[in-house]
Structure 1
Amino acid sequence: MQKFAPASLLAAALLSACAANPDGAAETRRSEEAPIKSDKPCISGVYPHLAYWNNEGECGTGAVVPWAGKLWVVTYGPHCVFESSDKLYEITPDLERKTRPESLGGTHANRMIHGETGQLFIGCYAIDSKGNVRAIPRDKMPGRLTGNARHIGDPAGKIYFATMEEGLYEVDAKTLEVREIIRDGNLNEHPGNGGASAKLPQKSKLHGYHGKGFYSGFGKAFYSNNGVHHPRVESDPTIKSGALAEWKPGDADWTPIRICQFTEITGPGGIRGASDPSNAPIWALGWDPKSVILMLNDGGEWSSFRLPKTSHSYDGSHGWNTEWPRIREIGEKDYLMTMHGAFWKFPPAFSKADFSGIRMRSSYLKVIGDFCRWQGAVVFGCDDSAQKEFFNKRGLKGENVSPLNSNSNLWFVKEPDIDRLGPALGRGSVFLREDIKGGTLSDPMLSGGFKSGVLALDHKTPAPLKVELLKSDGKGKFEAFETVELPANGSKFVKLPAAEWIKVRPLSDAKSFTAHFHFSNPDARGAEISPIFDGVMRAGSPEAGTAALLRSLERKSAKLGAYAWESGGKKISALGAYSLDGKMRLAKDGGIDAEKVKAAAFEPKGITYDSDSVLVVEAGRRYRLPRNPLYDGKSAFGTPRLAREVATERDLLNCAGTFYELPAVNAQGFAKIRPIASHNLKIFDFCSYRGMMLFSGISEGAKSLGNPRIIVSEDGKFALWAGVIDDLWKLGKPVGIGSPWHGASVAKGETSDPYLLTGYDKKTLKALADSDTELDIEVDVDGTGLWVKYGAVRLEKGKELVKEFGDDLKGYWIRFKSSKPCKITATLIYE
């Protein structure tokens, strides 16, 4: 067949792509930022040569901090209490990376700049202003280090360290001498810890584990964890889990403040700590099954706010799916916050006096452990390709598809481009199936910044219920703006006015009461696919091309393995094994273990392609998705990849012309799926490698397009597409057509399968029945099977009904119920 253009001809274009994502200085003045100077390849802000590997089950990025003219990065494995193969890295402004010889490893995500001694504390290391590194021996301070905080009694001379298993240490900032305060939960109790030895530090009895946040102020240290040990954590994300707690000098243990899953704790002082610890507010991020939770400590007293969730892939009662959400300064007016798959603007003045200004900027797919501003960009430290998938297993994918060694990378993004990722989408409840006393006022739910908002109200009280809605601009009191009357055992969808925050109050006792919010901003994307995907094969096109199975290989080679085929007419021929390295050189490679690559092939289970929808059965539950008729789950090269973990502990699903984010089963799995983008690409396989996302399925004509994303092999016979997972937003908005019922004979009162509703904006129903009937429209408003009646339409025998839905039809899933037996087709069109 005709060969592709050689890789050397694309080198200049590939390097020019780096310039679109330059580097910069974080925690310094923007005027000090210098443009990046590197001759290394760059793909969508990822520099492949900077990727890091370890020998552990995952390779996350725990902390990224600009210091002493360099960028410092520490990686982590999943549960390394002492040492591990993880490293401390020093990266120069021209992107040369040095592995520090002092590296000891561990599971660390702590970082703090200690101004009085001019040191950066990161992991178990102290780095002075000249870049000299001292390491605290792991046996002197064992545990998974999750946070640092300024010392309460001697902030100039000491610093606190907290561990993921509730351990607490005090460290002398000059000598690095360690004093144990609360014993790490991974360790045995001190011998004879009782009687005469009772004053030795003991392990904590705080609820939960899997520590995350740590900060000090108001004479106390505040700590959070987000997990729990429970036999149902593999499947149930609603178990009572995690805690927000406090400690003050002299205490033997943490004192719980709130039992709930919490992560980040910080304040306006950020990575340096509070400059005025007696007065500066403290913020704590968390979540529960209802929503994201934001706690504010102002003047020593805590108050609670709620924010909607974008992604549910961060849920899970074990807490493993979050990594480290952060609120951090990035050289702009507002801080940047990461939480549940959304980038947020967070005002540094957020307090009791002014709680306005939080705004969702965009949604994203990467899994991020830390970030900073450096070299003119926001640098995100990611958790990309994990060798272990932990509890994230399902019948839609195989068990031989994960990387042979874990690897991850940094992602350089220009600050304005943060707003150009996925559209803002937020869902959350203030009450969820709760028995509520009349007059009970909910926490405030963030409404500010969203163009569209709908509140679904539902209850099971055997009498009518009045519900009062209140709003605030974030600078004053809440005032009532509407009273909604619900019928007995009834529901209602309420379109919301512009407001900063909204509270809900039932005016009488309510049974199984739900108040669920659904917010969104317009999806400005069209149907046109970005030119960055030019050269990827198109569905329905007869053009010849290549395809391959892909797998990230061992750390020793640090390569991506591919086993490739080419098509010519009706003939499929094997091209054999290829590899891609960190210099983006794609070449024939007989030295890789091709069988390990071919073992990644898998025939999905639990999926059926019907005439005009896709039926998926997971955990015994049925779900339907739209289907592009050009896709049937088959390919001339074999079975295309359906699902794969591309960012740790959640899956990417490429099904019938749409990419979806698919949470792990422990985060309610398919019930909480959301569409990312629709396309007409004929992708055979996809995977993550060195922080990138790779596709196989490249057309023969790709050579003439000059697209730097097409990486061509040295022999010109084979090619791959290279990008990052968040490039998928550029495929276009999610669209689709499908039928929960297609010519189905249904009984009176029978309901259809649930059909995906979330993530689509323009929605139309076409329905046709062979007899008169009334069709109830029901919406699962929160993805947990909470079905609420939205409305009903009447069908006349043999007459097609066409109904365009308004903006108030929002929820996770939709289904229909017929009032009479009939043969019916109900088709949903998403545009």
Structure 2
Amino acid sequence: MIHRESNQLIIGPYFIRADGTVRACDVKNKLIGRMTAVARHLTDPANRVYFYDMEGAVYEVNVHTLDVKRLFEKPVAGWHGKGGYTAQGRLVIANNGESAAIKKKYNYLAGEDAKDPEDAGILAEWDGTTWRVIERRQFTDVTGPGGIGGAPDDAAPLWAMGWDKRSVILKLLDGGQWSTFRVPKGSYTFDPKHGWFTEWPRIREVTGGRWLMVMHGQMFDFPPTFSRGNTAGLRPICTHLRYIPDFCAWGDKLVLAADDTSVMQNPLAGTSQSNLQFTKLDALKTFGPATGWGGVWLNDAVKADTPSDPFLLAGYPCRVLHLAHHNAGPVVFTVELDKKGDGHWSEWKKIEVPAKGYVFEIFPPDLKAEWVRLRPNRDVVVSAFFHMSAPRASEPGEDAMFKSLAADGWREMTIRPDDKGNLQVLAGPDAYEVDERLQFRPTEPDRLLAARTAAAPTVKTETDAASLVLTDARGNRWRLPKSGAVMFDDATRYRTLREVQSERYLANWHGTFYEVPRTLELRQIKPIATHRRAISDFCTWRGLMVLAGNVAGAGDGHCFASANGQCALWFGAVDDLWRLGKPVGQGGPWAGTAVKAGKPSDPYLMTGFDRKSVALSHDGTESVNFTIEVDVHLHGWYKYQTIAVSPGQTVMHRFPEGYNAHWVRVTADRDCAATAIFQYE
């Protein structure tokens, strides 16, 4: 925070004057805890500020004397304190978890311990007298158009970000009234209820009046004018792999902080690894494609004629709405648009969903509107979920930076950051250490025993005639496309899974990189890029993405080798991986597989791929009906379509442009040997 009256920068417990003098609060005896927010004072802003601690305490500090007074030990429920900000006569604080850091019973002044399965985290406000819960959900940043300077006046709006099982939540406080908006998630890796895996989504000005919002794996242009009657301008820029705890402008650069490899339950790293990335604002569009998913309702009971929260529509040319309900009769949903972000809603169309049915609606790419909302014509238990995407802004020849990575010819290599800042490399029988100057030094293999024997996280993988098969800890099977190269069938020849960004995994499965939650909840994975290269290991080290395998000097500017030329590695940034090529592949749940009537296939991944089709056939002597079902929100299956296939016939079905779901599966209505192969181009 910049305290404008005293002209001091406050960062952590430190107060820094304009002349460079640094003073610190007494953190051993008075300002105790892990401070996560500093906010302007409600009644004496010229002389005092509030501090908010990750464990929940609220302090008051005199900016001149640094005297500290604890106002509240823990006033509200929830854990893992995050943002705090003062606006419109109230202090607003957020936390994003439900896993207690301290085993103690507290007498909360607002909220209570979780009673509902969805209770996690909190957004709460204090007017100087009374604490009040705004929402019992997981929230992170709280800020406003004054940014780190605090609210410019008492009328300035306040923004807060959070999430629930449906989507990202964007809260607006304006004119003393709270409003809720919903935005797609770009990743499921941030979702756990303990809140530890969100360090630290923010809304922040970066340069020249331009603001960014970073949340759940997506970056957005955020309009600093966001207020009641003026909510236009929020636009997705990209998805990203980098775990970004903070960001700012520095000169003409955008600086991205990071939480790369950690040592938490990770023997593949001798010490934690992170660094700053200096890039350009315009370079963000070359990160991952702006894709995401989220909903306004997820098996929720909704009253007739009650409008949903607004959901972001602008900025995504490919948009599909999935609607499903449990009522015994049909339900009509009115789709309404806020075309200008001025709060004026107009009807776009009505969609009738049959009894206990499912329908999807693809929005035309040329339909212009900021927000969309839905309204049912009767009481209903309903899910309304969107999948949104925009093509990545690829550059011609961008994969030339990977020219040194061969597409065939395995070379056994293992890499591991050690506990002294070096990178350990085992290349067959030879061993090397790489220092901060990217100089390779031969060493004795025995010294690198930890690199060879460190236990890595594992997921059981196998390849059959149809696809790649993953089996999770509960014995559930999940299928992924093959990349088209048989060299990847034997997954023992290369590293398939490790942490490269803190608290989530990167997987290298059959020539495609995937993002995988730390929980190894395989239903939540998404593809990153299909590379089809002989990559035997990978890691992050000193802020760099490192790829090992069949690497040879090829003038791509990213290959560095030992003096004898016998060992080489590729170095770059983690979000360079998107440049390897969009996810593609072929496979499915069945390839001449003996199937039983009415028994669904294994789930097969659909999200993150475009230009999708499926070929269906069987060996029966009678027509077989293949029912295709989709899981769009990881909470159940919906019937997409039933396709009749005659004996000896192969039926090709192409999914509509813009259609997407997370998983797909197939069921046949007769015993037969069936084939269902999906092509993702």
Output the CA distance in 2 between the equivalents of 1:608 and 1:528.
Answer: 34
Query: 1:543-562 to 2 correspondence within 5 Å?
Result: 546-554=411-419, 557-562=420-425
- 2:24 counterpart residue number: 135
Conserved 8 A contact 2:285-2:393? no
Letter in structure 1 aligned against 2:407: R
SS across alignment from 1:806: coil
Deviations 1:550-601 (A, max 9, x none): 11111xx211111222xxxxxxxx112x112222222213498311111236
Cα distance 1:773–1:420, how it changes in 2: closer, same or farther (>3 A)? same
Letter in structure 2 aligned against 1:212: K
Which structure has more relative contact order (CA 8 Å, sep 6+)? It is: 1
- 2:126 counterpart residue number: 247
| 1:630 maps onto 2:485 in alignment | yes
Conserved 8 A contact 1:627-1:738? yes
Deviations 1:747-771 (A, max 9, x none): 2212111100000110111111123
Cα distance 1:504–1:780, how it changes in 2: closer, same or farther (>3 A)? same
Output the CA distance in 1 between the equivalents of 2:500 and 2:326.
Answer: 42
Structure 1 position 609, deviation (Å): 1.1
Letter in structure 2 aligned against 1:168: V
Structure 1 position 427, deviation (Å): 0.6
- 2:509 counterpart residue number: 655
Output the CA distance in 2 between the equivalents of 1:586 and 1:175.
Answer: 53
Output the CA distance in 1 between the equivalents of 2:486 and 2:6.
Answer: 62
SS across alignment from 2:257: strand
| 1:646 maps onto 2:646 in alignment | no
- 2:112 counterpart residue number: none
- 1:733 counterpart residue number: 582
Structure 1 position 818, deviation (Å): 1.1
Output the CA distance in 1 between the equivalents of 2:94 and 2:37.
Answer: 10
- 1:679 counterpart residue number: 531
Structure 1 position 400, deviation (Å): 3.0
- 1:416 counterpart residue number: 282
- 1:436 counterpart residue number: 302
SS across alignment from 1:373: strand
- 1:468 counterpart residue number: 334
Cα distance 1:238–1:612, how it changes in 2: closer, same or farther (>3 A)? farther
Output the CA distance in 2 between the equivalents of 1:387 and 1:248.
Answer: 42
Deviations 1:771-828 (A, max 9, x none): 31111111101123x2111112111111111222212531100111112222111110
Structure 1 position 459, deviation (Å): 0.9
Conserved 8 A contact 1:765-1:828? yes
Structure 1 position 603, deviation (Å): 9.0
Structure 1 position 333, deviation (Å): 4.2
SS across alignment from 1:407: coil
Query: How does the TM-score come out when normalised to structure 2?
Result: 0.93
| 1:505 maps onto 2:341 in alignment | no
Output the CA distance in 2 between the equivalents of 1:366 and 1:526.
Answer: 20
SS across alignment from 2:308: coil
Moved over 6 A (4+): 526-529
Structure 1 position 634, deviation (Å): 6.7
Match of 1:178 among 59, 63, 68: 68
Conserved 8 A contact 1:161-1:169? yes
Deviations 1:209-258 (A, max 9, x none): 10111000111110000000389xxxxx964200001123345xx43211
Output the CA distance in 1 between the equivalents of 2:395 and 2:475.
Answer: 36
Cα distance 1:720–1:147, how it changes in 2: closer, same or farther (>3 A)? same
- 2:148 counterpart residue number: 271
Letter in structure 2 aligned against 1:357: G
SS across alignment from 2:614: strand
| Stretches of structure 2 lacking an aligned partner (at least 5 in a row) | 102-115
Deviations 1:345-382 (A, max 9, x none): 10000000201110110100001111110021111111
Output the CA distance in 2 between the equivalents of 1:479 and 1:255.
Answer: 34
SS across alignment from 1:418: helix
Structure 1 position 740, deviation (Å): 1.0
- 2:108 counterpart residue number: none
Output the CA distance in 1 between the equivalents of 2:249 and 2:16.
Answer: 19
Number of equivalenced pairs: 659
Q: In percent, how many aligned pairs have the same letter?
A: 39
Conserved 8 A contact 1:529-1:679? no
Letter in structure 1 aligned against 2:296: V
SS across alignment from 1:684: strand
- 1:806 counterpart residue number: 656
- 2:345 counterpart residue number: 478
Structure 1 position 639, deviation (Å): 3.2
Query: 1:255-334 to 2 correspondence within 5 Å?
Result: 255-276=132-153, 278-334=154-210
Conserved 8 A contact 1:528-1:731? no
Query: How does the TM-score come out when normalised to structure 1?
Result: 0.77
- 1:778 counterpart residue number: 629
Query: 1:42-61 to 2 correspondence within 5 Å?
Result: none
For the aligned residues, what is the CA RMSD? Answer: 2.1
Structure 1 position 113, deviation (Å): 1.3
Cα distance 1:580–1:133, how it changes in 2: closer, same or farther (>3 A)? farther
Deviations 1:510-536 (A, max 9, x none): 13x111111111345599771111111
Output the CA distance in 2 between the equivalents of 1:714 and 1:604.
Answer: 34
SS across alignment from 1:611: coil
Conserved 8 A contact 2:286-2:392? no
Output the CA distance in 2 between the equivalents of 1:450 and 1:810.
Answer: 13
Letter in structure 2 aligned against 1:400: P
Cα distance 1:214–1:679, how it changes in 2: closer, same or farther (>3 A)? same
Conserved 8 A contact 1:462-1:489? yes
Conserved 8 A contact 2:412-2:493? no
Query: 1:107-146 to 2 correspondence within 5 Å?
Result: 112-139=1-28, 140-146=30-36
